[in-house]
Amino acid sequence: MISKKDLLIEMNISYGQLYRWKREGLIPNEWFNKQAVSTGQETYFKRELIIPRIQKILELKDMYQLDQLRAFLNPDLEKRPFNMREIVLIEDLDPFILKMFAMRKPILYLYDIILIYIFSLCKEDISFEDYKETDFSAINCLTYTCYIVESDRKYILFAKDELIMDHHLKIIKQIRFEDVANMIAKNL
Amino acid sequence: MEDIKIVGSGSINGGSYKNIRVAGSAKMTGSIQVEQLNVAGACVFIENADVQSGHISGSCRFQKNLKGNELHCSGTITVMGETEAETLHLSGKGQFSQDINVDHLQVKTKDSTFQNIYGDIVFIESKHGLTKVRDIEATSIEVINVVGNRLSGDEVIVKGNSEFTVIEYRKKLEIGKTVRVEQIIHL
């Protein structure tokens, strides 16, 4: 956890900026945890959430308008269904893989789109045909990274944390879910 | 989006409106979104209100949350829920039962009550008597005749008969001779 005061110093931002971003929906209300201290109340944040979020806001705030930035960082992106009109606007999705996904799942969510994107991007290495019966429902957070590894043939791996692999395996592609989600949000 | 004008008394269901003008008394029974609100009289909002630009010269009571862009009140404003605004100017009396998150708050009042105020620039001057707050956290704070628990900001100016338990500042602190503070912390 990090206190609000330490956060302001560490990120070199002001109260005004922090509360403006909260008001604008760039930082969720639930991230502000009030706790009793000797001087009354102090607000604490989960460090692993707030620091990357503020870094992202500072990096993007001059490049995008508020609505775009909000969509970019929108935490609800993970919960809402995507309609086909939105999906076709996302660049680099292979229509064949999209069709196969859509045939087995009538409603597609963010993680489905991320998988479609990854299989589209890696179609030279991995055939989605080999995975069309695989249940990907356990893959449900943005901390995942997809690895395409090679030994006698190429495999696809999904891992949440750092991956320790046999040295015979060679990573030939590495795709962070968060990067794909950001790209998708930008296309919406 | 339609315009609504109430002269006398009336009530408005929830919905989105371009202009709402009240000269008399009005009750908003559902959630309201309005671009321009003008109240000269009395108005009660039963549900949440989203007001792009509001001018209140009578009295307004918001039973739930108030969200706005630019709000000017020269009468009495009561907000039972949370308040969010870019700019809030109050030159009358305010009763805020929950937190305020505002970019620019300017208050010149006789007797008002606030809970926590969070924002960028906060100026509160109590002309007669003392205005009560709990905590204020803002980039720049100036308070005159205000009583509360804690002020925390980059630049803090406290004048008049203000009283605070704790003042935290990062860059600048000015405290008047008649101000009472228990603890000062340089962040």
3-state SS, one letter per residue, for B103-128: EEEEEEECCCECCCEEEEEEEEEECC
**Rounded to whole angstroms, how far apart are CA atoms A93 and A155?**
20
Closest alpha carbon within chain B to A18: B119
Residue A147 and residue A167 share a domain: yes
pLDDT digits (tens, 9 = 90+) for A76-115: 677 777 878 778 878 889 999 999 888 888 788 889 999 9
How do A40-45 and A33-37 pair as beta strands?
antiparallel
pLDDT of amino acid B111: 83
Residue A104 and residue A61 share a domain: no
Residue A164 and residue A86 share a domain: yes
Report domain extents, chain B.
Answer: 1-98, 100-187
Chain A residues contacting B via beta carbons under 8 Å: 4-5, 9, 14-17, 19-20, 22-23, 39-41
Residue A82 and residue A8 share a domain: no
Residue A182 and residue A90 share a domain: yes
**Rounded to whole angstroms, how far apart are CA atoms B34 and B142?**
31
The pLDDT of A20-42, averaged and rounded, is: 84
Residue A33 and residue A124 share a domain: no
How do B131-132 and B146-159 pair as beta strands?
parallel
**Inter-chain CB proximity A39 and B138 less than 8 Å:** no
Residue A61 and residue A95 share a domain: no
Selecting from B118, B119, B135 the residue whose C-beta is nearest the C-beta of A40 gives B135
- Mind listing the pLDDT tens digit of every residue in chain B (187 residues)? 789 999 999 999 888 899 999 999 999 998 999 999 999 999 999 999 999 999 999 899 999 999 999 999 999 999 999 999 999 999 999 999 999 999 999 999 988 999 999 999 999 999 988 999 999 999 999 999 999 999 999 999 999 999 999 999 999 999 999 999 999 999 8
Name chain A contacts of B135, Cβ cutoff 8 Å. 40-41
**Inter-chain CB proximity B165 and A39 less than 8 Å:** yes
Name chain B contacts of A41, Cβ cutoff 8 Å. 135
Closest alpha carbon within chain A to B171: A14
Give the domain-ending residue among A22, A43, A73.
Answer: A73
Residues 6+ apart with CB under 8 A from B23: B5, B6, B7, B40, B41
Report whether A115 contacts A134 (CB < 8 A). Answer: no
Name chain A contacts of B183, Cβ cutoff 8 Å. 39
Residue A90 and residue A69 share a domain: no
Give the domain-ending residue among A26, A47, A73.
Answer: A73
Beta bridge partners of B144: B125, B159
Residue A88 and residue A44 share a domain: no
Model ipTM? 0.86
Say what angle helices A47-60 and A66-73 make with each other, to 10 degrees. 150
Partner A contacted by B111 (CB < 8 A): no
Domain total of chain A? 2
Secondary-structure percent of chain B, ordered helix, strand, coil, rounded to 5: 0, 75, 25
Give the domain-ending residue among A56, A73, A90.
Answer: A73
**Rounded to whole angstroms, how far apart are CA atoms B151 and B136?**
5
Closest Cα to residue A157, out of A178, A129, A186, A177? Answer: A177
Residue A180 and residue A132 share a domain: yes
Residues 6+ apart with CB under 8 A from A89: A187, A188
The pLDDT of A57-77, averaged and rounded, is: 77
Q: What are phi and psi of A153, to 5 degrees?
A: -145, -175
Boundaries of domain holding A150 = 78-187
pLDDT digits (tens, 9 = 90+) for A141-188: 888 999 999 988 899 999 987 778 888 888 999 998 988 887 787 666
pLDDT digits (tens, 9 = 90+) for A106-134: 788 889 999 999 999 999 999 998 888 88
**Inter-chain CB proximity A23 and B101 less than 8 Å:** yes
Return the amino acid letter for A25.
Answer: G
Residue A115 and residue A174 share a domain: yes
